[in-house]
Structure 1
């Protein structure tokens, strides 16, 4: 077995790593697991950290379709770290490169994946936490939203994703109306460029306020970023004629209903903005790195909670409950 980067530095060989495993509903265990070995075309990354995605909450809660225990590190897909081992047939990556890793088992000290799923981070971002996958997700949603200068853009749900989208839309010259249930998050939306903010409390009052702000025309673009039924209904109502309704929320907890008559009458274009092709994921991350490196977009105030891997269960609970001051949690490694 080859030496890892850390072993070469310390002279001590390790054969196992710490990894998180979901053992049942709302139960997370930290286990010793074999350090993965990269195969052909793959690299191994010694993880520095991994963002906690809201899509992890439902599997953690224990839906009927979920199977336990999970594989070591499973569900972690927002990782970053340092390349630790490179397959001989991989070009363009070297041991010691600091990277974003679009892998799937990154709630562990090491993760392995195809070299195409790795994006090098510039020196200017050294030592900064960088959950690249959600940043790339925001960039790709923005691209597919086709937002243009002068448009009124409603964003329903201001978490990490909604806040980044508010900034991107504002940079494009659009006027952003931010709608969210957490009143303090409205301040976050304003700091990221929102033109107007509305508490997500009363459905009819929100519709009336958007009508007032837009002269009765409603919005050319509406981005639903919650993954819940009511905000999807709301998005349909505040979309104007020939608008684009962009579904950015991850709807995984059951079927949804839509007012098809309303969609038909308004001639709404509906865009499911989640990318599934690796090349598009990569491009989104590359674009996001450039925007953050240039200072056009900032995520520092959005990475609000940092916990060690052993407290992943607590990080998932925070992500579920979204208490005052919470935007995004991440687990980090020594």
Structure 2
């Protein structure tokens, strides 16, 4: 292993033991294996999936059965290289793509590695995540970032990749009228991405004034559906990007999509949605889901580097590693919360 000096033998990690049970633990600093690099983690965004694991101990069939480190929106600096890894990566700032596919299966070979059945994804049981001071990752998934990006930008390239993948699946193009349901972090960054892809109009729906204000600041039209129901808004999109994950919202939004429109289900939450089949058939709507992303980091990085997407608007709170529990719960009592970032070196 090739390493910089000053790497300790142990590190701190925020470990989930069960619903609502999070504590700091001392763990050995991992050593990078063949083709891997060791990253000193400097920023980690908190995701809705982290909050869900913290509250419920599971998401669908993924169950926390043993202590788990959360966090998958991570960035930091390469401080060590394993055998065969490119030593020129030493000292470089990187954004971590959190899924490592097998690279050999029938999904990986055609490039659909996000669908790899043997994917190892950070903070998805039983794989530990990035709420820790050091993390090992394959060098191919430690993406170098330009100096103009902040460490928060680098970490949040992960949720931006979700938005890039959704817009690609929807084939968002100049002239499209886009509807985005849900103004959470994914909905807000998807609104910016849709504009960057050329959409002439973007409408974002939610019920929280603070988040709708952020949507307006990103160049979207905001609709408070607690005041004006979507069906009464008179908006007929060519593309629906459903980011709320709420089944009833999905069903209502699909009913507004125009002829030959495209519907992409991004938000996760319900196992089933009420599908307005007559609308889908009579309007020849295309409907698909998304699952993570593939080959998105170069585009996401370029969008931020060019200024087309501003990720700093998402960051509302910052915490040290010892305050990880506060980062996971801030949204329950602070209406201004959008995206909490954890700084493990604090």
Q: Does 1:94 align with 2:89?
A: yes
Q: 1:78 aligns with which of 73, 77, 88?
A: 73
Gaps of 5+ in 2: 99-121, 123-128
- Equivalent residues in 2 for 1:229-268 (5 A)? 229-251=247-269, 254-268=271-285
Which consecutive segments of 4 or more residues in structure 1 shift more than 6 A? none
Aligned to 2:163: 138
Q: Give, in angstroms, the shift of residue 246 of structure 1.
A: 1.0
Q: Give, in angstroms, the shift of residue 81 of structure 1.
A: 0.2
Instruction: Report how many aligned residue pairs link the two structures.
Output: 311
Aligned to 1:164: 189
Q: 2:12 aligns with which of 7, 18, 21?
A: 18
Q: 2:202 aligns with which of 176, 183, 188?
A: 176
Q: Does 1:117 align with 2:147?
A: no
Q: How has the CA–CA distance of structure 1 residues 300 and 307 changed in structure 2, closer, same or farther, with 3 Å as cutoff?
A: same
Q: 1:47 aligns with which of 18, 23, 41?
A: 41
| 8 Å CA contact 2:77, 2:94 repeated in 1 | yes
Deviations along 1:256-292, whole A, 9 cap, x unmatched?
443334323332111212235xxx2xx3122111111
Q: Does 1:330 align with 2:341?
A: yes
Quick check: 108-117 or 135-144, which moved more?
135-144
Gaps of 5+ in 1: none
| 8 Å CA contact 2:37, 2:81 repeated in 1 | yes
| 8 Å CA contact 1:244, 1:270 repeated in 2 | yes
Q: Give, in angstroms, the shift of residue 129 of structure 1.
A: 4.6
- Secondary structure at 1:135's aligned position in 2? helix
Aligned to 1:220: 238
Q: Using the alignment, how far apart are the partners of 2:47 and 2:276 within structure 1? A: 29
Aligned to 1:67: 64
Q: Give, in angstroms, the shift of residue 93 of structure 1.
A: 4.5
Q: How has the CA–CA distance of structure 1 residues 129 and 176 changed in structure 2, closer, same or farther, with 3 Å as cutoff?
A: closer
Aligned to 2:110: none
TM-score normalized by structure 2?
0.83
| 8 Å CA contact 1:86, 1:93 repeated in 2 | no
Coordinate RMSD, CA, aligned = 2.2
Deviations along 1:143-166, whole A, 9 cap, x unmatched?
222112222211111122222222
